[in-house]
Chains A and B, each alone.
Chain A
Amino acid sequence: MTTETVSKKYRFTVEKSNGKNEVLKFLIQWEMILIYIFITFNILLYVLNGDMFTRSYMSIIQAGMDLSFMVFPMIFILLLGDIDVSVGSILALSAMMLGLVYEATGNTVLSIGACLLTGASAGFLNGFIITRFKEISAVIVTIAGMLFYRGVVKIVLDVRSLTAFPDWFGELGYSNFWGLPISLWVFAIFALIFGLVLHKTSYGRQLYAVGKNKDGAYFSGIKVNKVKLITFTLMGLMAAVSAIFYLGRSPSVVANVGEGYELRVIAICVLGGVSTSGGKGKIIGPIIGVFIMSFLDKLMGYNGVQPAARVMAVGILLVVALLAEKIKFKQI
């Protein structure tokens, strides 16, 4: 059915946009601005550190990958209008479980299974408490979760560190496949899956609906609790996936593994244009955000800025992104 016939018969059309200034609108949308920032970082890197740019381009990308897997489900959680600050602890817990099971059995499949199950269970527990007691906000539940999961790791490990892991984990962290890092391939696959899930499936539709108007969604027959439970479980699962790639890059688990990751992950999402009040955001923004973060990190690193100082740039980027969001929504 063409637009023409629709508009003749009815008093509305099914056209998606109004055509005017379409090009300009496309060019100044947030995702495009992120791409400009990314390109700017590339140019800067090329100009300032030409040899590094060509030699270790791939390793720059690799460096940012291990926490990137947590970005996807965090987008979902932020879309719901919730937040999860326990992901760093869940990562540590899952990594520890993987190490312990591998130490005991030497079985790769079993240890990875235990790792994923641990992550998913921890996420499920968060989601269960959040949905069972609606009066408590997700912030409190996950703050408690953060302390608790980290606490369990501390109890089990104390000052010990786990160092025995399957050999091929290193490949995940450092090897290439068809000229690109394996972790990047995996990232791309996850990006595709999560992108399609968010933008093409009924689950994705429900995420937006709940985030934009929870009561409205509930009255429309959406099982809000179920959606939340699934999303928090998914978050835990992906934290466990992150744990595997983390171990690929640094094969040792100590009690403070992944501390502060939660804030970095949230920062990437917000930078990528996901609103923390729920319902607004796309998958593409945070994906670019992941690369911006790791390039910014390396750009500063190559130019003598120490790791501890680089977080400052992250903070400034974050607050600028927040203010940009304010201005953006004021216009519309």
Chain B
Amino acid sequence: MEKKLVRCNINGKDVETYLDVRSSLTDMLRNDYRLTSVKKGCEVGECGACNVIIDGECYNSCIYLAVWAEGKHIRTLESLLGPNGELSDIQQAFVDEAAVQCGFCTPGFIMTAVKILESGKEYTREELRKQLSGHLCRCTGYENILNAVEKTMKKRLGKA
């Protein structure tokens, strides 16, 4: 199969690799860059487990051709890791609020949460629910996830 050079910036680092053009972005991130926070869930864009941030917007990487990543800035959960392996505030909030059970949906949820938090806006619970609606979680019942995102949002805005 045809291979193509794909150059992009992943988690702040310029990278390039020759790819089978049939690869999804999930394939590339997991197989070529070992970024295994990007989960293969439904693979049809419904569950959100493969969600990453591309040029500031959230995308399900399972329905995104890897060759489209050319020239893009991509962020995965791995980018949140501190220099000494510390968790970021939103990750710690997921732990504190018991928003993680099996953990499979967590990286996708957290990357959407990152976009929400970095907007610097304050959202109502209902708005947060809508913003997080592209993710399925079969364990938690969502309430603890909403609590984690809401509390971190309020903390960052100095309101908690």
A binds B: no
Interface residues in chain B, defined as those with a beta carbon under 8 Å from any beta carbon in chain A: none
Q: Which residues of A are in contact with B by a Cβ distance under 8 Å?
A: none
